[in-house]
Chain A
Amino acid sequence: MLLMVLTLTVALAACGQKNNSSNGGNASEGSSLSGSFLASGSSALQPLVDQVSKKFMDANSGVSVQVQAGGSGTGLTQVSEGQSQIGNSDVFAEEKLDAAKAAELVDHQVAVVGMAAVVNKDITIDNLTKQQLVDIFTGKVTNWKDVGGNDQKIQIINRPSSSGTRATFEKFALGQKSEDLQGSIQEDSSGTVKKLVGETPGAIGYLALSYLDDSVKAVKYEGVEASADNVANGTYPVWAYEHMYTKGEPDAAIKAFLDYMMSDEVQNGDVVELGYIPANKMQVKRDVDGNITK
């Protein structure tokens, strides 16, 4: 499986390079689709949409796709008000917009992002239960020794309360909202969170799986390791959909683009390559209220 993905990735990369160099030459081929549309929003989803849009445009020379990052809230606002045709979001539209406005939007779940609690590398523990995480993020526990670690002060690196990542983490890892604690650090960007968790003694934070590397240590949640497979088979609960919203049903070009997004080529290729989990691999489904169905 891994090998297959790898070869595919290499092949795709080669493909991309070739296309880059011989641009404009393939104007004669391709389908009859035409149109121009704009996808804006989530900066977490932007790399994927951006990469896929380039390949899509290579295949359909009549279509022009623009991709912008500006945050989930901005993306949802823009698609709802018609300034863009696709709104990329890390969260369900219902969580950001009024019910009436959200009802007009059609959800396309293109990928899944798993999240893991990460700690500084000097922390000895490698598993945290839900209750322990709640205690830490609500400030009940302030020392690592109370959750089985060394005698060291816990330093929380959180996200701002408007962040989609935080909403997901609170909803599915903690099961409750948490207050902003006095003295906790808040960063909106995954890179800064990673840097600070890696450098600050006693730090804990959370990151999307794609950001994990050996500068920080991912801890298990209730004994389950945070991995793409565990997310897909439903044993690891801390994940969220990446949404691409359209206002009403999309027109032909946009529909073709979204279909391409869901095709095996993209789902097993770019989605995996960029560290997301393919939406069609998911063995469980979740609705806006967090109810899980097999």
Chain B
Amino acid sequence: MSAKTADKIATAVIVGVAAFIVLVLAGLLGFILYRGVGHISFHFLTSAPETIRKGGGIGPQLFNSVFLLVLTMIITIPIGLGAGIYMSEYAPANKITSGIRLIVEVLSSVPSIVVGLFGLLVIVNLFGFGFSLFSGALALTVFNLPLMVRITEQGLKGVPREQKEASLALGLSKWKTITSVMLPIAMPVILTGTILAAGRVFGEAAALLFTAGMSSPRLDFTNWNPLSPFSPLNPFRPAETLAVHIWKINSEGLAPDAAQIAAGASAVLVITVLVFNFAARWLGRYMYRKFTAIK
């Protein structure tokens, strides 16, 4: 076989594989959406689930997912940013720092189920938070943190050296330089990364089974006092998220339309993740354009 034929065959194979991957994704999305989209309606998105009758919705679950995401981000972003800033700006280049870097790497690869078990043992039982949104948010923080740290570090490393030095030369403190000069420039990268990380939180289930629980108390959407046990805003109530709900009705669902609900909920979940992805992309591009235009 001549080199030219081999080249042609190899190219064809590679192009074929690339097409195959696109097909797999298209098939996957098509399958989920085809089965689920027909079931999505305003009623489905807003009403409470039914245990035994038809026609239950996913309203509380959807709300829980969003609320849990917000809680997680409230905890993750300040800590993740701080740790990322330390790693990229303050950490001396020595053995300890590389040890910390290793720790961050290890933390990012701890399986989510181990995080869930840790949450069950420490957050739920030892600290006594019970199965609650707060426990779930803490567990999710554990594996969102390393991601956030890495994103922040990446963002800050991408800031042109001259800009940092110019700011320092003007007599600004290092902290001021970081917060007022470097962070704004790094913002597009950090924001894109954060949104992608948020998408992962939205779909996580394994860790939440053991921390946020598999049940959702009745929510009273007219009661916005965060201390009331029926208030949707109370962070110390058990909360089933959308991903956990899919897992549960797939496995224990008694309602006659459990399969359709699972399909519909999966479709909602996938659509949300898609929206997150596109939002991240769009926002990243928009901000990049804006910042470069200013320059």
- What is the interface of chain A, defined by CB distance below 8 A to chain B? 13, 20, 23-24, 36, 38, 40, 43-44, 46-47, 50-51, 54, 64, 66-70, 78, 81, 83-84, 187-192, 210-211, 213, 273-275
Contacts and interface: CB of A to CB of B under 8 A. Distances in A.
Contact of A68 (B214, B248, B256): B214
Interface of B: 48, 51-53, 124-125, 128, 130-131, 210, 213-215, 217-218, 220, 222-223, 229-230, 237-238, 248-254, 256, 258
Nearest to B229: A64
A211 B214 contact: no
Given A66-B238, A68-B213, A83-B128, A24 B220 contact: yes
B213 A274 contact: no
A24 B251 CA distance: 34
A213 B255 CA distance: 11
A66 B229 CA distance: 8
B214 to A, nearest CB: 4
Contacts of A211: 254
A23 B215 CA distance: 20
Contacts of A192: 250-251
B126 to A, nearest CB: 10
A273 B249 contact: no
20 contacts: A20-B48, A23-B220, A24-B222, A40-B131, A43-B252, A46-B215, A50-B215, A51-B51, A64-B229, A69-B213, A70-B210, A81-B125, A189-B250, A190-B252, A191-B250, A191-B252, A191-B258, A213-B256, A273-B52, A274-B52
A265 to B, nearest CB: 17
Contacts of B222: 23-24
Contacts of A68: 130-131, 213-215, 238
Contact of B214 (A54, A66, A69): A69
B214 A191 contact: no
Given A20-B48, A189-B252, 5 more contacts: A46-B214, A54-B218, A68-B213, A70-B131, A213-B256
A126 B280 CA distance: 57
Question: Which of B223, B238, B249 is most buried by chain A, counting CB atoms within 10 A of its CB?
Answer: B238
A274 B51 CA distance: 8
Question: Which of B53, B210, B214 is most buried by chain A, counting CB atoms within 10 A of its CB?
Answer: B214
A13 B213 contact: no
Q: By DSSP majority rule, is chain A's interface helix, strand, loop, or mixed?
A: mixed
B250 A47 contact: no
Question: Which of A70, A84, A190 is most buried by chain B, counting CB atoms within 10 A of its CB?
Answer: A70
Contacts of A36: 229
B52 A47 contact: yes
Nearest to B124: A83
Contacts of A70: 131, 210, 213-214
Nearest to A47: B51
A70 B116 CA distance: 13
A81 B229 CA distance: 22
A275 B254 contact: yes
Contacts of B230: 23, 64
A220 B154 CA distance: 65
A163 to B, nearest CB: 12
A83 B51 contact: no
Contacts of A43: 214, 248, 252
A187 B251 CA distance: 9
A275 B256 CA distance: 13
A50 B51 contact: yes
Contacts of A44: 252
Question: Which of A44, A47, A84, A273 is most buried by chain B, counting CB atoms within 10 A of its CB?
Answer: A47
A191 B125 contact: no
B121 to A, nearest CB: 11
B113 to A, nearest CB: 15
A38 B124 CA distance: 13
A21 B210 CA distance: 32
